[in-house]
Amino acid sequence: MHHFQYKNGQLHAEDIAVADLVYEYGTPLYIYSATTLKRHYKAFDSAFDGIDHLTCYSVKANSNLSFLKILAQEGAGTDIVSGGELFRALRAGVDPKKIVYSGVGKKTVEIQEALFADILMFNVESVQELERINDVAGGVDKVARVSLRINPDVDPKTHPYVSTGLKENKFGLSRADALKAYALAQSLPNVEPIGMDCHIGSQLTQLSPFMEALEKLKEFHGQLVQMGIKIKYMDLGGGLGITYNEEAPPHPEELGKALIESLKGLDVTLILEPGRVIAGNTGILVTEVQYTKTNEDKTFVIVDAAMNDLVRPSLYGSYHRIASVREGNGEEMTADVVGPICESGDFLAKNRTFPKVAQGDLLAAFSAGAYGFVMSSQYNSRARAAEIMVEGDKHVLVRKREVYNDLVALEEDGLACIGRLKK
């Protein structure tokens, strides 16, 4: 359920006409629904009411400060993967004791920042990382709470680029290596192993991969108990999918019932790291048609949003529903929706049938709230889009549109000094 619906023939974001927002802010434009965001968080979090749990929103899905602030006010924690995401989470008011730090490549300075913030725990992905965290924590006279990420070698049945739980993936430790790492963690003076972690991938549309991974974790948990390690937290990651096209992912309630039943008798707090399932359908990307043209039997709708604005179709071959902001009169067209980037891979949709549009019309790409703006770039020296948050009949500009000066601001000092270079 989302709050982007047609009223009187015009697409609305909650109670505001999308065309009115475009008139004020231009295109390309990301528009988010605060009501949808809150609804999705509550629907997910409440699915686990029967067990001690912590919902840590995955910041990488959408890291806008206002987005994070709304979730923090709703009680969410965060799953972060960089020092920058830690900075954002803290700036947005997230409780540090609700922050878990994932990611395979944590730098020394990032570990220090997280220790000073006193986050809940680090999800450790390698023995060398465990040793570095111990050394860094010792250097600042702290004890780091850690969880080791276990790679269960479970096929999530999703796109290979977002699969993270197979032995061929870079993430986590095999179960055999994880046992050795936990034994090492017991002996290190500046780490405290309090959790176990697993994340098998993104955009999962079946429960079976979750349950298969959990069964392997439960077996592993028993081995840790025998080693005298008290596990307080079991982090199952995120990955529950959404409907982009014809997918039918399970509702969070189904996942909640299955996990609660499976975890009966296990004295742990469940941690979940949803991203896409909360953020995906909270946003749309609006773009204006610049030109239409037909080459022999191929029609192109050329818009002002490009792969630098929404890279998922080019990167993953992902589907985003494309619809006109103004309801059509029944006449349709089949076309590729392409952007102005100088790449043949720059497209939002291929061979897509939708209401016929003309130069100057507005199109919306749906399900763009996750991995949309957050993955955007300035490729071809294109200024990044503005972001708007809507609630009811009110709206806020939550990220200004970049201007040309923003493209070069970090290069100006070099320009001034370039003449001093020696030949």
CATH number of the domain enclosing 315: 2.40.37.10
Domain membership of residue 225 (yes or no) is yes
* Residue 417 counted as domain residue: no
Other C-beta atoms closer than 10 Å to the C-beta of 327 total 14
Domain co-membership, 256 together with 329: no
CATH number at residue 148: 3.20.20.10
Please give the DSSP secondary-structure letter assigned to residue 240.
B
* DSSP-assigned beta bridge partners for residue 235: 197, 271
* Ligand-binding site membership of 371 (annotated): yes
Question: Which of these three, 277, 299, 323, is where a domain ends?
Answer: 277
Shared-domain flag, residues 291 and 339: yes
Whether residue 296 is annotated as binding a ligand: the answer is no
pLDDT at 206: 80
Looking at the fold, whether 163 and 287 belong to one and the same domain comes out as no
3-class DSSP assignment, residue 172: coil
Assess if residue 421 is contained within a domain. Answer: no
Whether 247 and 102 share a structural domain: yes
Grouped pLDDT means (10 residues each) for the chain, 423 residues: 91 98 98 98 94 96 98 98 98 98 96 98 95 98 96 58 44 84 96 91 78 85 90 89 79 90 91 94 98 93 98 93 90 95 96 94 97 98 98 98 97 86 68
- Are 255 and 403 members of one domain? no
DSSP 64: -
Give the Cα-Cα-Cα angle 90, 91, 93 (nearest 5 degrees).
65
Q: Say if residues 241 and 247 touch (Cβ distance below 8 Å).
A: yes
Q: What span, in angstroms and rounded, lies between the C-alpha atoms of 186 and 225? A: 13
Cα–Cα distance for residue pair 48/207, rounded to 1 Å = 15
Same domain, 196 and 284: no
115 and 141 together in one domain: yes
100: which strand partners? 79, 121
Query: Which one of 277, 309, 342 terminates a domain?
Result: 277
Amino acid type, 419: G
Sign of torsion over alpha carbons 16, 18, 20, 21: positive
Give the number of other CB atoms < 10 A from CB of residue 122: 27
Does 274 count as an annotated binding residue? Answer: yes
Among 248, 277, 306, the domain boundary falls at 277
- For residue 419, is it within any domain? no
In sequence order, what E strands does 177-252 have?
191-197, 233-235
Closest CA to 80 of 400, 92, 397, 188: 92
Catalytic residue positions, numbered: 342
The whole-number pLDDT of residue 159 equals: 41
103 carries a ligand binding annotation = no
- Same domain as 118, residue 140: yes
The SS3 assignment for 290 reads strand
Cis peptide before 28 (omega within 30 of 0): yes
Examine the domain organization and report whether 118 and 245 are in the same domain. yes
Does 336 fall in a domain?
A: yes
Same domain, 288 and 355: yes
Find the domain containing 361 and state its range: 4-31+280-409
237 labeled part of a ligand binding site: no
Question: CA separation (Å) from 110 to 86, 129, 132, 306?
Answer: 9, 12, 11, 33
Q: Based on the fold, state whether residues 103 and 230 are members of the same structural domain.
A: yes
In a domain, 139, yes or no: yes
Integer Cα distance of 227 and 65 in angstroms: 42
Q: How far is 402 from 310, CA to CA, in rounded Å?
A: 16
Amino acid at 408: V
Instruction: Confirm whether 420 is domain-assigned.
Output: no
Look at the chain and report how many structural domains it folds into: 2
Do residues 147 and 102 lie in contact, with contact meaning Cβ atoms separated by under 8 Å? no
Same domain, yes or no: 356 and 368 = yes
